[in-house]
Amino acid sequence: METLAEPGVSPLVETRGVTKRYGDTLALNSVTLKVWAGHSVALAGRNGAGKSTMVRLMTGLERPDAGEVLFSGGPAPDIAARAQWRTKVACVYQKSTIIPELTVGENLFLNDHPGSRFGAIRWGELRRLGRRELDAWGLDVAIDQLAGELTVGERQRLEIARALRKGSRFIILDEPTARLESREIRQLFDHIGRLKASGVTFLFISHHLQEIYEICERVAVMRDGRLVAEAAVEELDEDAVVAAMVGQAYVRPGQTTHVPRRAFPTASDERPIVLDVDNVAVDGTVSGASLKVRAGERVGLAGLAGSGKAELARAIVGQLAPSTGRISVSGAPLAVGRVDLARDSGVAWVPEDRHFNGFCGNLSVEENIALPVLRRLNRALGFVSGQRRRGLAETMIGRLEIKVSDPSQNISELSGGNQQKTVMSRALASEPKLLVLGHPTAGVDIASKEALFGIIRATGSAVLLVSDEIDELAICDRVLVMFGGRIVREFAGPWEEHEMVAAMEGLGQ
Amino acid sequence: MSAPAAGRTRTRWRFGDELALLQLIIVAMIAGTLLHPAFLTPLNIVNVLQQSSELSVLVLAEAIILIVGRFDLSLESIVGVAPMFGAWLVLDATLNGSGLMLSPFVAVIVVFFVGFAIGAVNGFLIVRLGLNAFITTLAMLILLRGVAIGLTNGRTLYDLPEPFLYLGNAYWLGLPAALWVSGALYLVGSLILGYHRVGRALYAIGGNAEAARAAGIPVDRYIWTVFVVAGGLASLSGLMLTGRMASVMSGQGQNMIFTVFAACVIGRISLNGGKGTLVGALCGVILLGIISNILTLSNIETFWISATYGAIILLSLIFTRLTSGKSYRSD
């Protein structure tokens, strides 16, 4: 890295020993990263490695607890001086910040219009300057067109142009290709190439490793809040990047290496099939996936965001209707798109985002547990038996060791781990044949994570665990990996973590 | 039950809102008694309650819609248009009716069906087409207001047959029938909301519709049903009002929706959905009824009474904000 240093020249951007802590979590642990002008850097790392925190510090959204951020050797502007930050660095996020109701020109000059002394916008001037900017950055769109009419890719390039207009020559691209079609990815890469030739440097974050090699000179890998590798792309191939992401001497929490894995299924497996997914497609996300889960089996469904795993899971639990294919539970075909009927056929579900659709924050722990099984707690005429509901809640609270002062405590008052246990107990309350778990230990502390793993191991139901976390997938008997809407690989028995990560990244096919 | 002490205080706190409202009602009654000797007489109290009964039924309708996290402005227009349509079917052309001379018993059923149908249309527009509830039900309100006037060219319909007026002017066991009916509805409604599978599902939907959906509750069907039931309740409220007035004015029910929302807000029904009880809503109705009665007895002009309502809503919002520490916004 030091070979890049020329005497008297400072790196374009440098984080010098930055540390950031959120509560008990150490998000960044003394990270030093230098980005030199003309050497675009790819930042790789698994979820939670600290990439987003790095972006937040480098764009001045947050201040490091220790260490500092430098631009061309000078200290970063004060965190309140947003205008100054914008002249140094810009980040194009996955979520667009282009306002679709305004024209291309207005978006380009947002809150910075060429105006008269009295604040009136000089439209002629705006168009003239705007066209010059668009020409300069090679963007072929009409200045008066509504931004909403642009393609996703064009909007992205408009966003980059806006950042460049503010004077920034360092652009962070956060998963820019996630929402693009392949033709648009090509156009974006061509555009990035042109901009690099005219002196713009990029920090590129992507889960698709092939892309890194196409547009970056250097690659930096983060793991557990540390920078674990940084080199020129020629020196670090894809396998080495994956190895760095996973960590060589990496021990999975909650799984000592001595625990023998349960016998994994063979072709002669006699256990009855609980879930049979036959060639299921969901518009635009899943194309022809088939899988089987047998009684007592724990199967992982792995894949990154956008791989189609979440949509396939939602089709199985009845939240969305597949366009083609068949899903059967214990041999009986499932009515499509009906959560209640899926539940009645024995499918229980722990959604991946508990705050979005896991629990009702206005209700008590007891009521949340009982919600899907109210019919079973019937006393007469559909009235719920309070006693039986309390009994169910107390059983589940005891079985899952949920920490509550009383079953009637509001669920919003619990910690994340205990909320997740409540959501889990709700799924278990229906005594399902199949338990579909979406990222079941997301955002919970280590102790709760352990407890949740114990609960999953102890359940008699067949389990389909949908996740991109190796830690979670480790409790499965076998793991199916999805990429681009298809199941691309199956891992049975002991597997190498880096192979699975590589499969999720779409490598090695 | 081995509930620890913390749990018991929590349970008591859950009735805190209603208890506070009850205290306010008692304060208002003491104030009324001190100000007017005529206030605390059986006749006046029954009068206050009877005048509140139509409002209370409409508040019940709005409350269940608010609990599932939606709202409906058009309920007050059903109060007018549904009895108006029924009366129009019953009356002779010389009395501004249709001349169809429908049996009044059938007409009463028609009145209810008008309410159900309007609720069903609202539900369709809001649940199925996903239209904004505010503007949809506002448009429905304006439309139905026009229809109510158009049916009779703005004239008042009177000389209505007795069965049509029964709910509003009959007495059962010495008390107005409307009082019994509204009391029974609140009792049944409270039981269903508090203890029935459907009622608990409505709270779940209002709290987090996506979570309710994930738990297998048919969210859209329930919300739709709530709109239909609320429409029927608004029809009932209209029939009660018609019976008490012995006529249907084209503007019947006008501006009632403001009082309805006032009662709901005072009664701590959350506009965000998922929170509040019918007991609270009923307390809100009674409190407004007592205050209005005191102001009327004091010969205060009606416009000052409505100004007072506005002030009370603002005060109760501020009060809620200060006591709960949470802002009371609908986002």
Residue numbers in A near B4 (CB within 8 A): 405-406
Residue A423: closest CA among A356, A374, A473, A375: A356
Identify the pLDDT of residue B120. 97
Nearest CA in chain A to B190: A383
Q: Report whether pLDDT(B12) > 70.
A: no
**Structure confidence at residue A261 (pLDDT):** 46
Q: Can you say whether the dihedral through the CA atoms of A357, A360, A366, A372 is positive or negative?
A: negative
Task: pLDDT band for B53, please (50, 70, 90 cuts).
Answer: very high
Question: What is the distance between the alpha carbons of residues B264 and B288, in angstroms, rounded to a whole number?
Answer: 11
Q: Look up residue A390 and give its two tokens.
A: 């309390």
pLDDT at residue A508, as a whole number: 63
Which residue, B226, B270, B246, B213, is CA-closest to B87? B246
pLDDT, tens only, B170-190: 999 989 999 999 999 999 999
Are A357 and B197 a contacting pair at CB < 8 A? no
Question: Range with the lowest mean pLDDT among A11-20, A67-76, B52-61, B89-98?
Answer: B89-98
Using the beta-carbon criterion (under 8 Å), do A358 and B211 form an inter-chain contact? yes
pLDDT by residue (tens digit) across B117-175? 999 999 999 999 999 999 999 999 999 999 999 988 889 998 899 989 999 889 999 89
Tell me if A360 and B204 make a contact (CB, 8 A cut-off): yes
For the stretch A492-503, pLDDT in tens is 878 888 888 888
State the average pLDDT over residues A233-246. Answer: 85
Read off the DSSP letter of residue B78.
Answer: H
Q: Is residue A428 within 8 Å of A396, Cβ to Cβ?
A: yes
Q: What is the pLDDT of residue B70?
A: 94
pLDDT at position A266: 52
Give the residue from A54, A270, A289, A64 showing the smallest Cα distance to A172: A54
Q: Cβ of B196 and A382 within 8 Å?
A: yes
- Residues in chain B, overall count: 331
Q: With contacts defined as CB-CB under 8 Å, which chain A residues touch B6?
A: 405-406
A chain contacts of residue B196, beta-carbon cutoff 8 Å: 381-384
Residue A70: pLDDT band by 50, 70, 90 thresholds?
very high
Query: What's the mean pLDDT in B186-210?
Result: 94
**Average pLDDT of the residues of chain B:** 88
**Comparing A391-395, A469-473, B160-164, which segment has the lowest mean pLDDT?**
A469-473
Q: How many other C-beta atoms can be found within 10 angstroms of the C-beta atom of residue A265?
A: 19
Give one DSSP letter per residue of A214-283, joined into a string. HH-SEEEEEETTEEEEEEEGGGS-HHHHHHHHH-TT---TT--TTSPPPPPP-TT--SPEEEEEEEEEET
Q: Which amino acid type is present at position A293?
A: V
B99: left (phi over 0), alpha (psi -120 to 50) or beta: left
Type and span of the H or E element at A500 = helix A497-504
Does the pLDDT of residue A168 top 90, yes or no?
Answer: no
**What mean pLDDT, rounded, does chain A reach?**
86
Q: SS3 for A507?
A: coil
| Residues B205-231, mean pLDDT to the nearest whole number | 94
The pLDDT assigned to A243 comes to 84
pLDDT higher than threshold 70 for residue A470: yes
Cβ neighbours for B51, distance < 8 A, ≥ 6 positions apart: B289, B293
Is residue B199 pLDDT above 90, yes or no? yes
Q: Can you spell out the DSSP letters for A77-111?
A: PPTT-HHHHHHH-EEE-SS----TTSBHHHHHTTT
pLDDT of residue A435: 94
Instruction: Give me the mean pLDDT over the A161-185 stretch.
Output: 82
The span from the first CA to the last CA of chain A, in angstroms, equals: 32
d(CA A192, CA A200): 9
Q: What is the mean pLDDT of residues B25-33?
A: 91
Whether the predicted pLDDT of A22 surpasses 50: yes
| Model confidence pLDDT, tens digit, residues A395-404 | 999 988 888 8
Q: Do B200 and A367 make contact, defined as CB atoms within 8 angstroms?
A: yes
Cα–Cα distance measured from residue B80 to residue B150, given in angstroms and rounded to the nearest whole number: 12
The two tokens of residue B192 are 């269903």
Which residue is closest to A317 within chain B, CA to CA?
A: B214
Nearest to A361 among B11, B208, B214 (CB): B208
Give the 3-state DSSP-derived string for A128-158, with helices as H, strands as E and coil as C.
HHHHHHHHHCCCCCCCCCEHHHCCHHHHHHH
In chain A, what residues touch B7 (CB-CB under 8 Å)? 405-409
CA distance A348 to chain B (A): 9
B327 pLDDT band, cuts 50/70/90, is very low
**pLDDT band at A257, cuts 50/70/90?**
very low
